[in-house]
């Protein structure tokens, strides 16, 4: 049985191992962040200090143990009278001694390699956690729960990205999907997320945030093209015949204001779901634009008004790896049906929705989805939001 390493952010409540059991043996690695309050905070700094303090003694042991094994074999060969005899019994005994010594050396080398592998995984996990950091369980009155599952075994972060940040202009949310999946897409994820985390505080208009994301992506792709083909010169954008020119990122950019008003830009990303009144409806975030990368953004950008997120209502954002997951018979994952079943219990629990989606998804895909998967749930926990007189949100009821 393959054990799955779960990464649970502080503030996450899991029901007595139900979610953990659903992921054991699936051959995947996932991370969860958000909802609840029962979580024991780990102290990585303290553990890191202890590891550093133990490293000198480990180095001594790694040198001393092979030396002892080798000295034992040499001493037996040179000093033991039985080793000098040529009889059958003496040969069997000599072979047994060298077999034991060789086995000890192999086991020691294996233990050293496993220890180095664990350390490398810890360092990689820490680096990836900085990139796609666990979300707090609440952001400016919004209950948040998020989960990400990488298609590459051993990777915590893949080609999907998300973040939720409270700013003076409202809570701003990004959900994106980089072309490709797994570790190869991490560089693009870092470029887009880094730009988002700065732009949301600097730009008053949501359209300006989107334009900053586009510029960051273009710069990143240009740097990749120059690294792959130094003869390309110092052009800021990759050449049309470069493989990097085919890279793109789908982005769903949301802004949730203090009164619950929703504004959005959708660049080729799957539409979110509005979870309200025991139903799950597709929320159309305006006219979809092409993904970032292949085509420039329009000169004029106007965010789509998507109504209000009232108290108790929730939004579910996801990447296409959810609905595109197939079972052994080639059938797609029935996300609308799963959501409709998950929201029957009121009020909507973001963590319960995540648990339902991921447990059903892993069973549907046989434990190893072909693409990266990310899901983000936001529930409005503000006490009172006045309903504004404006156009109702565009929703498509899921039957």
Can you give the pLDDT at residue 30?
46
Question: Which backbone phi and psi does 305 adopt, to 5 degrees?
Answer: -90, 120
Flag whether the pTM goes above 0.85. Answer: no
Report the C-alpha gap between 132 and 189 in whole angstroms: 9
* Residues 11 and 69 placed together within one structural domain of the fold: no
Q: Is residue 30 part of a domain?
A: yes
Please report, for residues 21, 94, 305, 315, 363, the alpha-carbon distance to residue 283 in angstroms, rounded to integers and kept in the order given: 32, 77, 11, 9, 27
Can you give the pLDDT at residue 175?
95
Which DSSP category does 251 fall into?
A: E
* Residues 110 and 238 placed together within one structural domain of the fold: no
Which of residues 91, 125, 159 is at a domain's end? 125
Q: Is residue 49 part of a domain?
A: yes
Please report, for residues 78, 235, 275, 376, 397, the alpha-carbon distance to residue 313 in angstroms, rounded to integers and kept in the order given: 81, 47, 6, 14, 15
pLDDT by 10s per residue, the chain, length 399: 333 333 334 333 333 333 333 333 333 444 454 444 334 334 444 454 455 445 556 566 566 666 776 677 677 666 777 666 777 777 787 777 777 777 877 887 888 888 888 887 777 667 667 777 889 999 999 999 998 887 766 566 667 899 999 999 999 999 999 886 556 678 888 899 999 999 999 999 999 999 999 999 999 888 877 776 665 545 555 555 565 667 899 999 999 999 999 999 999 999 999 999 889 999 987 788 999 988 899 999 999 999 999 999 999 999 998 999 988 888 999 999 999 999 988 788 999 999 999 999 999 988 878 888 999 999 999 875 544 444 444 444 443
Which are the contacts of 237, defined by CB distance < 8 A and separation ≥ 6? 218, 221, 222
Can you give the pLDDT at residue 224?
76
Q: Is residue 52 part of a domain?
A: yes
* Residues 283 and 192 placed together within one structural domain of the fold: yes
As for how many domains the chain has, the answer is: 2
For β-strands 261-267 and 249-256, DSSP reports them as antiparallel
* Residues 120 and 259 placed together within one structural domain of the fold: no
Which of residues 125, 151, 166 is at a domain's end? 125
Which of residues 62, 91, 125 is at a domain's end? 125
Q: Is residue 370 part of a domain?
A: yes
Let me know: does 304 contact 263? Beta carbons within 8 Å: yes
Phi-psi region of 17 (alpha: psi -120 to 50; beta: other; left: phi over 0): left
Q: Is residue 56 part of a domain?
A: yes
Let me know: does 284 contact 236? Beta carbons within 8 Å: no
* Residues 219 and 272 placed together within one structural domain of the fold: yes
* Residues 152 and 243 placed together within one structural domain of the fold: yes
Structural domain containing residue 112: 44-125
Can you give the pLDDT at residue 212?
96
Question: Quick check: bond before 347 cis, omega within 30?
Answer: yes
Taking residue 104's Cβ as centre, other Cβ atoms within 10 Å add up to: 16
């Amino acid at each position: 049985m393959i054990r799955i390493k779960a990464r649970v952010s502080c503030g996450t409540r899991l029901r007595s191992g139900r979610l953990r059991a659903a992921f054991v043996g699936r051959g995947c690695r996932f991370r969860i962040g958000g909802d609840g309050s029962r979580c024991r905070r780990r102290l990585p700094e303290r553990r890191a200090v202890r590891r550093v303090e133990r490293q000198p003694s480990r180095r001594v042991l790694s040198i001393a143990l092979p030396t002892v094994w080798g000295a034992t074999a040499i001493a037996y060969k040179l000093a033991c009278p039985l080793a000098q005899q040529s009889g059958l019994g003496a040969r069997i005994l000599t072979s047994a001694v060298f077999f034991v010594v060789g086995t000890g050396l192999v086991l020691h080398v294996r233990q050293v390699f496993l220890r180095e592998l664990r350390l490398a995984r810890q360092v990689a996990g820490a680096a990836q956690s900085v990139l796609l950091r666990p979300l707090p369980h609440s952001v400016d009155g919004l209950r948040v729960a998020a989960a990400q599952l990488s298609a590459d075994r051993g990777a915590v972060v893949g080609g999907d990205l998300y973040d939720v940040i409270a700013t003076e202009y409202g809570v701003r949310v990004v959900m994106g999907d980089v072309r490709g999946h797994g570790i190869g897409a991490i560089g693009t994820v870092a470029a887009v997320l880094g730009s988002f985390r700065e732009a949301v505080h600097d730009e008053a208009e949501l359209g300006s945030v989107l334009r900053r994301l586009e510029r960051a992506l273009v710069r990143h792709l240009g740097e990749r093209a120059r690294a792959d083909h130094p003869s390309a010169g110092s052009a800021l954008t990759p050449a049309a015949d470069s493989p990097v020119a085919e890279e793109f990122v789908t982005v769903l950019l949301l802004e949730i204001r203090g009164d619950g008003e929703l504004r959005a830009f959708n660049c080729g990303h799957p539409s979110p779901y509005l979870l309200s009144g025991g139903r799950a409806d597709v929320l159309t975030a305006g006219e979809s634009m092409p993904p970032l990368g292949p085509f420039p953004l329009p000169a004029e950008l106007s965010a789509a008004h998507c109504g209000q997120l009232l108290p108790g209502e929730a939004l579910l954002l996801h990447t296409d790896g959810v609905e595109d997951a197939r079972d052994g018979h080639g059938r797609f994952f029935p996300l609308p049906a799963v959501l409709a079943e998950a929201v029957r219990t009121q009020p909507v629990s973001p963590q319960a929705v995540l648990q339902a989606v991921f447990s059903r998804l892993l069973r549907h895909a046989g434990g190893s989805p072909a693409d990266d998967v990310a899901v983000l749930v936001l529930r409005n926990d503000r006490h009172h939001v006045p309903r504004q007189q404006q156009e109702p949100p565009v929703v498509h009821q899921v039957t």
